Structure 1
Amino acid sequence: MPSSPLSSVGAARKAIADQLVEIRKDAGLNGAELSSRCGWHPAKTSRIQSGKSAASEDDIRAWCTVCGAEDRIPDLIAATRAADSIHQRWRRRNSSGMRLAQEKVIGDYERTELFRIYVSNVLPGFFQTAEYATALMRSITDFQGTPNDVAAAVPARLARARLMHSGAHRFAVLIEEWVLRTRIGSVEGMAAQLDHLLALMSLPSVSIGIIPAGCPRAIWPLEAFYLFDDQRVAVETLTAKVNVLQPSEITDYVRAFAGLSKMAVHGAKARALIGSAIASLE
């Protein structure tokens, strides 16, 4: 089963910490001596070396300078920035509004042939109507306290839907039944969203499976995740999007998707669950 999506972040930061330990030892310094020369408490050195605290770019510069390893600074800073890109906090990502963040991801989507998507909270952006996306993005903006550019961000999000109608892109999507019954926006808007979902099921590029709420669970409900071919997994948590890049972890998510697929219903049974959700709105 999938390990924590934060393990990729931890592994990247631990690799940086191990290099810093190596640099300190090569310089013939112990932790206390390095701390004194850097002008900080030994506890900070201990946390950085263990990987419990991430070294900032200024920390790396100071560490390498006192160890006479200035030539290592550029590579370590690049590695730190790469680790930061694995874990993208939503508030930071949306700090200037949501439109730019929506536009930035389209390149990754265009390069992907097979999307395997599991959602346990809201419908994926590909499938959202304008009203559903507007209500959802307004609530996200309010919660995060980020600039409100929802009117501009919604068209940018909906633009990725064109990939379902062009090129060699394929979409295998698994949706927990309760997502169909979780009202986002108005009753009329939710009904229109579910009708839109039914229409998408007829597309040859799209496979939609619904996991019934009462089915025996072979795999527990997980946080929403997006598999981009076999190259990357984007896991969405409350506070951040975590990019899983380690092959062993990607394999775990592929296995989880296969297990969740076995619990899902497709075709007429899936349509019936969507129809039931529409009827419950009335």
Structure 2
Amino acid sequence: MPSSPSSSAQEARLAVAARLREIMLDAGLQGQELAGLCGWNGAKTSRIINAKTAPSDSDIRAWCAACGADDQATDLIAASRAVDSMYVEWRRLTRTGLRRLQESAVPLYERTRHFRAYSSRVVPGVLQTEAYATALLATVADFRRTPNDVADAVKARLARSRVIRTGNHRFAILVEESVLYYRLGSVETMAEQLVHLRTAMSLPAVSLGVIPFTAQRTMWPTETFNIFDDVQAGVELLSAQVTVTSPSEIGLYVRAFDRFKDLAVHGRQARALISRAISSLG
């Protein structure tokens, strides 16, 4: 897996910084000269060039204007803003509650044709029941101290999950067997969720695999991640949501998913593991 889940964001920051440096050099300017034209000190120019400081929109406009490259400012601003969306702390994403976070992902889910998900923690969102989603999001809201809009967030999550029954989508989902035993909500909530998982296996668009406790590991359990086609991956850390767009990093997540898939059981064997977890609830 990547050495740092935020490395895609850093790579993108470096790319923006490199483009700004090229514009400066193409204009025949040095750092101090550019700083004088922009009205700031040379240290700021150095920090921007070395990706130590993220340039603001106004910084990029001033930089491009000083270099006679105003026509490049718009694209650079867009690229710089995109970096900010690659590594985003949950406290920023959920400061107004959880509903908007669920709704913001709808376009991505709708346009994705091949969806791959691996989870070592909880049942993936597209397969969650209302009661399970309520228990999970209530726990998230409590831990992250977000405004309590759990009921609305659950409705939004369930609405988003309709993609598994509509349109031209394929869902390959892998969970560690431990996910079947981590109790969120009441015994009744867990029983309903597990029965729903077993039922969802028959959906035409869904392939559900379970990685048994007894699997001979060729891949260690990692953080939960989703792969959207082959163009984007989403990684869920405790502190932040990471969006991966670098082809090399996406390739690592695809490779990890394929290894997990080799460890997983499907069909009758997966149903047997789910049924055993149901029986453990008594």
Same fold (TM over 0.5): yes
> Hey, what's the Cα distance between the residues in 1 that align with 2:84 and 2:179?
31
SS across alignment from 1:12: helix
| Matching of residues 122-271 of structure 1 within 5 Å | 122-271=122-271
Report how far residue 70 of structure 1 moved: 4.0
> Hey, what's the Cα distance between the residues in 2 that align with 1:232 and 1:98?
22
Identity, % of aligned pairs? 56
Letter in 1 for 2:127: F
* Post-superposition CA distance 1:128-148 (Å, at most 9, x none): 111111121122222333222
Contact (CA 8 Å) 1:16, 1:80: kept in 2 or not? yes
What are structure 1's unaligned runs of at least 5 residues? none
> Hey, what's the Cα distance between the residues in 1 that align with 2:26 and 2:171?
51
Contact (CA 8 Å) 2:95, 2:146: kept in 1 or not? yes
Please name the residue that 1:8 is paired with: 8
Residue range with higher mean Cα deviation, 214-223 or 54-63: 54-63
* Post-superposition CA distance 1:64-115 (Å, at most 9, x none): 4454544433222111112223333322222322222212222221222221
> Hey, what's the Cα distance between the residues in 2 that align with 1:138 and 1:187?
16
SS across alignment from 1:216: coil
* Post-superposition CA distance 1:201-235 (Å, at most 9, x none): 22222111111223222112121111222222122
SS across alignment from 1:215: coil
Report how far residue 35 of structure 1 moved: 4.6
Q: Name the CA shift for 1:78/1:270 in 2 (closer, same or farther; >3 Å).
A: same
* Post-superposition CA distance 1:153-188 (Å, at most 9, x none): 101101133222233322111001111111112222
Q: CA RMSD in A?
A: 2.3
Show structure 1 runs of 4+ deviating over 6 A. Answer: none
Contact (CA 8 Å) 1:3, 1:249: kept in 2 or not? no
Report how far residue 126 of structure 1 moved: 0.7
SS across alignment from 1:160: helix
SS across alignment from 2:75: helix
Residue range with higher mean Cα deviation, 129-138 or 248-257: 248-257
Letter in 1 for 2:215: C
Please state if 1:74 is matched with 2:80.
no
Q: Name the CA shift for 1:40/1:127 in 2 (closer, same or farther; >3 Å).
A: same
Q: Name the CA shift for 1:53/1:278 in 2 (closer, same or farther; >3 Å).
A: farther
Please name the residue that 1:23 is paired with: 23
Q: Name the CA shift for 1:32/1:132 in 2 (closer, same or farther; >3 Å).
A: same
| TM-score, length of structure 1 as denominator length | 0.89
Letter in 1 for 2:280: S
Letter in 2 for 1:186: S
Contact (CA 8 Å) 2:102, 2:160: kept in 1 or not? no
Letter in 2 for 1:78: A
Q: Name the CA shift for 1:58/1:160 in 2 (closer, same or farther; >3 Å).
A: same
Contact (CA 8 Å) 1:2, 1:256: kept in 2 or not? no
Please name the residue that 2:47 is paired with: 47
